[in-house]
Structure 1
Amino acid sequence: MKKLLLMAITAVLAFSLFSPSLVQAADDLSGHRYEKEMRELIALGVISGYPGGSIQPEREVTRAEFAKMVIKTFGLGTDVESAQFKSAGLASPEVTAAAVNFKDVQAGQWFYQPVMDAVQAGIVQGYPDKTFKPDASITREQMATMVSRALTAKGVKVDVATTAALEFKDLSTILKDHVTDVRILSHLGILQGNSDGTFKPKDSSKRWMVALVMLRAKEHTDVPEVPVAKEFQAVTVTADKTNIVKHFDSFADAKKYVQGNANTQAVERSNKVLWMKQGIAFTNAFTEIYPTEALKASAGTFRPYVPASTELKFLDATDKTVKVELAGKIGYISHSVLRLIPEQQKKGQSYYEVSTAGNLVHKIYNHSNGSLASAGEIGKAPKEFVAGMKYYSWDGTVFTNASGALVTEAHQYFSKLPLRTASNYTAAELDKYLNDAFPYKGKTQNGKMWTASPLVGTGKFFKEMESTYKVNALYLMAHAIHESGWGTSKIAQDKFNLYGYGAVDADPYKAAFAYATFRESIEYAAQKVSANYLTTTGGFYNGAYLGNKGGGMNVRYASDAFWGEKIAGHMYRADLKLGNKDLNKKNLGITTTDGLNFRSGTSTATTALYTIKPADVPVVINGTATAAGATWYRVQSEDSKYAEAYVHGAYIKLLPLAK
């Protein structure tokens, strides 16, 4: 039926020449020349009416509306609820990394989810200035590219070399990025030229015109499918493809077969790997990690979150969820936001190595584009590391070699240092580092030629806040360097904002808080960090240390899984340059149980000064005491109201540090 209908309308070629007559009846679509086609799309949920019941077939379609139409037409939307976080800058407690990183597309807008789905499906990319321009009219060339990409996502393949070359009189006005897509859609009969031989790529399109395009394109995906008797497949995996060995009705049967068959390595469904014997997982979108296989969390339970292209350790899977490890913690993720790469198809992986100076370097691999990135030397390399060798770790502390054999457990001091400690550096020494290590001297950064570090002179403010709020001054300086690009960012220069507070993805500069001075910005950060992240009763407390996604500030401060490592790296490099006055100067232990009480004395009968709820939290050990034959540790207090506290030695183990 659709085939005959579409063949009948194919003769009507040029959108610009159509002048359909309107007959107002039950609604403004009744009697329209393409009423039937539009009502078909309304029934499919592709087109919806406006408030008051109007359809407005002659209305121009915006880019946001078209994105929604494409997603609905081709069934490319996500089937899971998106993250419902507030959009905030890296320095906000509610910070997230949205899957859509357009300045003008924000959570809460009606088109947010369709645009996010279109990005994830590879249909839209936006403009170079990081905008999407949702309210701009969709042009014919843009429409061609988005529909062409949607067809590709649905498995429709066209060998462009076999199609006729375009002969439009205005071919030169079609942007180069759109020419191939226009050629493909012209070949398929979805988009055609005008009677005067032009294509008019910059023209907008009305709703009835888009309806025709959608139906024509949808026809190419509505071909009858060859019945597949069984949903799941056991496959062999080679470097560039998988080969089906046997079909199964259930995932459990397919998995059992692969586990017992040396010649098969994975279970697939619709060419997507659902389970594998060995391999790696990485996110393809902003991802929440849930504590249960049902992808739910009880009220008050925090769900860690990471951005796209984050590596995760694959543990197991069902046909719906994947069990993974992130920074030593176990969680569950939907298959829809994750890709499994069997070992045979792995192109690379993040790794650690030792620099020529004996320092630790982390090379982070991007599975989307195959690139490697590094923040530089982040700490002292474990003594077991050998130059030229690659080492692997899922939490930055337990390292294996390429064959998976354990090499060592070694923690980085500044990553695990409780931030209530005071730095041994003076304000003058911090200023010296800010001056001597400033990387942009004599260079242009953010539109300005820098002759000196703008942060020189802030050393006294970092030390002042350390004394007032009991927040480590070296950390405060490192955090400011990281978030503000050594004080050269626009919001640092124009608004004295060193930590990014208030900045949101949609318009970070406009939304960022403004301060009167750098001192005011530093004090605000010290207050927030102290109250929210370093206090045991704080709303975002996971241990008063930088850490990673398994524990510490990084759990809830930033989506970047290596944010804590990067800040600690700044601290390490500063300490290295200033003479190693802070590194390994404190004895560190780590809690071994949750809900651990820290007391005023060496007895359970003494007052519990505070409780650390999560396990695996580092503490500074100042000394030991013996009471009733048991060892107690005298530790630096996590609660700023007290200087020290006592904890039973049975619940603390010494932390093996890289030295």
Structure 2
Amino acid sequence: MKKLSIIALLMTIIGMLLWQPQLASADELTGHSHEQGLRYLISKNALVKDAKGSYRPNDNVTRGEFASYLSKAMNLKATSDIVFKDVPDTYVHAKDIKLAASAGIITGYGDGSFKPNAAISRQHMAVMLERAIDYLNIPKGTPTITFKDNASIIKDYRQAVAIGAQLEIIKGSNGYFMPEKNATIGQASSFIVRLMQLAGDPDATAPNGGNTNDGNTSGGNSNGGDTNGGNSNGGDTNTGSSKYAIKEISNGTLVGNQGFSTFEAAEKAVTKNTQVIVQSDKIVKMSSGYAVTNNYVALKSETINDSLAVAANTEMEYLSSDATQVKVRLAGQVGYLKHADVTLIPFSISKGRSYYENVNGEIKHTLYDYKTNKYSSSYIFGKAPSFMKQNEKYYSWNGIYFSNGNGSSKGDAYNYYQFLPARAQTQYTAQEIDTYIMNKLAEIESTGATLYKDATKKSKLIGLGKTLKDVEAKSQINAMLILSLAQHESAYGMSEHAQKLNNLFGLYVYDTNPLNKNFDSIADNINELVDKFLQPNYINPGGTPGKNFANGAVVGSKALGFNVKYASDPFWGAKIAGHYYRAEKALGFKDANNPYTIGLTTTNGLNVRTGAATSNNPLFTYARSGMPVIITSSATNGWYEIISDKLYTGKAFVSKDYVQVINTVK
């Protein structure tokens, strides 16, 4: 009887195994090396079968298809009036292409086409993915990964490829990226599912973890050299198995190693300000100190409810931390970052910090490089404030408020050129500007640097004075401000984009051809900067709807001004101001000797009116406080007359009660 029972049981099991394929038969995607990504796209209705009933996983993906995949996976909604001449409304992916273009994820060719049916190369895909990373506010990894065929990647695309590889969205095969090779639908799906995993989409998470390479093989190939771009947080992503320890700061080093199984247990055991919590020798909590970004990050500011691009090596105030994130403050902007994005440094074991000092009456900023643990560079950007003593170091979180190491000497200092609104007019003539430009070019040429060879003959800044003054008269934007931007962004008119494309500001880098936008003249390039970027986005109060670029019409800092959104370098505004200051110094300080009076608004929702009474119509409204204004007359009946940030030739007025006049250093 036992034998019969066993035989019956075996027959039942065999019958079930034989029957199983009929219950859930395999399809063409089962076992495919990119199965996870392909099924993810199907779940988003991004990938559908063709007329033959196939998902075509091994076919080349087109530009239109990839744009559609991104649009549907990211659930894009907002559209603008962007139109490509070869994408009619009847095109199958027309709506998704428009959505992706409106989000700034895709661009087209200079002739207005998009070429939706063209196969997309892997390097072009990397550029689109980088823009998607920015759109989704995913902090970028340090772009250090290179492939064996890195030289084959178009120079302007290498950073996008490196960022994608660092985040493990992009992977190669046997150490090669194959940049010019067309990507398959399967490869595209793996790129996108990895992107959306980082974005936190629960639909993108699958138990199999996806494939480990982007090649066409389906075997267990390695990731082609990507392992060197792994997590830099010392293992704190494996919180389930990681061990925490309490260490104590003693004579500038960390000693002791009291272990705990959880962060919470370690946190409860901390009893002294000199103790820190570490995980795999990485500090994850301390009583005081500062945080330094390990790589480029997107900081979501709770202060202004917006994401800020922040460069690597940026020092920020440390506020607090838990097992997963660090709370920081950058120039008054409070937000959170992952432990992997920052290094926490207690003040007592700091080997060096960026600092300011008074050097012969000028303020000099010296920067510290935390990768090499050395002071790396410095720049002068104006006169030193009166409270700064020579031979003494000062520190500042926002470039406005400064204190020395012991806190005994401190004060506010608004650099005139850094916080001078763009509507100010310079007193220098076109001829004076041209004279300064030629003298400056002769100075940099004399350094012998290869970049500046023949600068006095070849620079695109030569003879620019009249153009700058014409733009100032027409657009009401300071000619010296535009010159300072041009000097900084184009290496004094000697950069490759300036020389080859008449592009002083690096405007428009297309995903298909970064050298595509060739301006007919420098004047056209400047007008494009003013009309398409500065005027509508950064100067006009409120800016372009949905972009949140308008944070004050000054170059400013990460606290306010263009620098909040224009550049990830937190000192970009100060560096632009430095160019203006040095030009002033060479020309005799005509602007500083007859300065504008500058004030800051002190309340949210402040109306600027066409007359000095609430009965007059609002010209515009400042949504947030702290906006710089130029005051052109003393208060009359409780109102200041100001220069309008909105392009407007009439008079503008604001209530004196909501504006604080600031003392600027000049």
Alpha-carbon distance in 1 for matches of 2:224, 2:462 = 60
Do the aligned partners of residues 235 and 456 (structure 1) sit closer, same or farther apart at CA in structure 2, a change above 3 Å counting? Answer: same
Alpha-carbon distance in 2 for matches of 1:383, 1:279 = 28
1:656 maps to 2:659: no
Q: Per-residue CA shift, 1:30-64, capped at 9, x if unaligned?
A: 9xxxxxxx99x99999xx9xx979999xxxxxxxx
User: How far off its partner does 1:428 sit?
Assistant: 0.6
**Structure 2 residue ranges without an equivalent (≥5):** 1-25, 41-48, 59-102, 108-122, 178-214, 229-238
Match of 1:304 among 300, 304, 308: 308
1:598 maps to 2:619: no
Once the two structures are superposed, the pairs formed by residues 15-54 of structure 1 within 5 Å of their partners are none
1:646 maps to 2:634: no
Partner of 2:245: 233
Do the aligned partners of residues 316 and 429 (structure 1) sit closer, same or farther apart at CA in structure 2, a change above 3 Å counting? Answer: same
Match of 1:623 among 625, 630, 633: 633
Alpha-carbon distance in 2 for matches of 1:616, 1:485 = 32
Once the two structures are superposed, the pairs formed by residues 471-486 of structure 1 within 5 Å of their partners are 471-486=477-492
Match of 2:412 among 409, 421, 429: 409
Match of 1:469 among 471, 475, 481: 475
Match of 1:350 among 343, 354, 360: 354
Alpha-carbon distance in 2 for matches of 1:654, 1:120 = 42
Once the two structures are superposed, the pairs formed by residues 389-468 of structure 1 within 5 Å of their partners are 389-438=392-441, 439-441=443-445, 443=448, 445-446=450-451, 449-452=454-457, 453-468=459-474
> With CA pairs under 8 Å and 6+ residues apart, which has the higher RCO, 1 or 2?
1
Do the aligned partners of residues 119 and 103 (structure 1) sit closer, same or farther apart at CA in structure 2, a change above 3 Å counting? Answer: farther
Could you tell me which amino acid in structure 1 is paired with residue 664 of structure 2? L
CA contact (8 A) 1:446 1:490 kept: no
Higher mean C-alpha displacement, 102-111 vs 595-604: 102-111
Alpha-carbon distance in 2 for matches of 1:497, 1:564 = 20
Do the aligned partners of residues 277 and 368 (structure 1) sit closer, same or farther apart at CA in structure 2, a change above 3 Å counting? Answer: same
* RMSD (CA atoms): 4.3
CA contact (8 A) 1:313 1:325 kept: yes
Q: Per-residue CA shift, 1:198-239, capped at 9, x if unaligned?
A: xxxxxx99765736999xx9xxxxxxxxx9999543321354
Once the two structures are superposed, the pairs formed by residues 356-395 of structure 1 within 5 Å of their partners are 356=360, 358-374=361-377, 376-395=379-398
SS in 1 for 2:539: coil
CA contact (8 A) 2:413 2:663 kept: yes
Higher mean C-alpha displacement, 383-392 vs 617-626: 617-626
SS in 2 for 1:620: strand
Match of 2:565 among 556, 566, 577: 556
Q: Per-residue CA shift, 1:260-317, capped at 9, x if unaligned?
A: 425x421233433221112210112221112359xxx9xxx42111122221111112
User: How far off its partner does 1:608 sit?
Assistant: 2.0
CA contact (8 A) 1:139 1:205 kept: no
Do the aligned partners of residues 392 and 447 (structure 1) sit closer, same or farther apart at CA in structure 2, a change above 3 Å counting? Answer: closer
CA contact (8 A) 1:418 1:545 kept: yes
Alpha-carbon distance in 2 for matches of 1:212, 1:542 = 43
Alpha-carbon distance in 2 for matches of 1:535, 1:587 = 20
Could you tell me which amino acid in structure 2 is paired with residue 492 of structure 1? A
CA contact (8 A) 1:106 1:112 kept: no
Do the aligned partners of residues 640 and 85 (structure 1) sit closer, same or farther apart at CA in structure 2, a change above 3 Å counting? Answer: closer
Match of 2:260 among 227, 239, 247: 247
Alpha-carbon distance in 2 for matches of 1:334, 1:276 = 15
User: How far off its partner does 1:382 sit?
Assistant: 0.8
Could you tell me which amino acid in structure 2 is paired with residue 475 of structure 1? L
Could you tell me which amino acid in structure 1 is paired with residue 423 of structure 2? R
CA contact (8 A) 2:542 2:623 kept: no
Do the aligned partners of residues 410 and 501 (structure 1) sit closer, same or farther apart at CA in structure 2, a change above 3 Å counting? Answer: same
Q: Per-residue CA shift, 1:84-143, capped at 9, x if unaligned?
A: 97599xxxxxxxxxxxxx999424289999xx999659765774786469999855899x
Alpha-carbon distance in 2 for matches of 1:289, 1:119 = 13
1:314 maps to 2:314: no
CA contact (8 A) 2:174 2:224 kept: no
SS in 2 for 1:478: helix
1:281 maps to 2:291: yes
CA contact (8 A) 1:307 1:560 kept: yes
Do the aligned partners of residues 267 and 427 (structure 1) sit closer, same or farther apart at CA in structure 2, a change above 3 Å counting? Answer: same
Higher mean C-alpha displacement, 479-488 vs 579-588: 579-588
Partner of 1:79: none
Alpha-carbon distance in 2 for matches of 1:430, 1:458 = 8
TM-score, length of structure 1 as denominator length: 0.66
SS in 2 for 1:561: coil
Q: Report how many aligned residue pairs link the two structures.
A: 499
Partner of 2:221: 210
User: How far off its partner does 1:330 sit?
Assistant: 1.7
User: How far off its partner does 1:567 sit?
Assistant: 0.9
Partner of 2:15: none
SS in 1 for 2:127: coil
Q: Per-residue CA shift, 1:445-474, capped at 9, x if unaligned?
A: 449543434412111010000010111100
User: How far off its partner does 1:520 sit?
Assistant: 1.1
CA contact (8 A) 2:445 2:452 kept: no
Partner of 1:221: none
Higher mean C-alpha displacement, 639-648 vs 560-569: 639-648
Alpha-carbon distance in 2 for matches of 1:370, 1:401 = 21
CA contact (8 A) 2:245 2:259 kept: yes
Partner of 1:610: 620
Partner of 1:75: none
**Structure 1 residue ranges without an equivalent (≥5):** 1-25, 31-37, 57-83, 89-101, 143-203, 218-226
Once the two structures are superposed, the pairs formed by residues 53-92 of structure 1 within 5 Å of their partners are 86=105
Identical columns (%): 30
CA contact (8 A) 1:426 1:463 kept: yes
Partner of 1:566: 575
Alpha-carbon distance in 1 for matches of 2:125, 2:552 = 36
Do the aligned partners of residues 338 and 250 (structure 1) sit closer, same or farther apart at CA in structure 2, a change above 3 Å counting? Answer: closer
User: How far off its partner does 1:536 sit?
Assistant: 0.9
Q: Per-residue CA shift, 1:499-535, capped at 9, x if unaligned?
A: 110136x788524x21111111111112231222111
User: How far off its partner does 1:542 sit?
Assistant: 0.9
Alpha-carbon distance in 1 for matches of 2:224, 2:647 = 65
CA contact (8 A) 2:29 2:35 kept: no
TM-score, length of structure 2 as denominator length: 0.65
SS in 2 for 1:493: helix
Partner of 2:231: none
Do the aligned partners of residues 125 and 232 (structure 1) sit closer, same or farther apart at CA in structure 2, a change above 3 Å counting? Answer: same
Partner of 2:127: 106
CA contact (8 A) 1:496 1:518 kept: yes
Alpha-carbon distance in 1 for matches of 2:429, 2:307 = 39
SS in 1 for 2:306: coil
1:632 maps to 2:644: no
Match of 1:496 among 502, 516, 524: 502
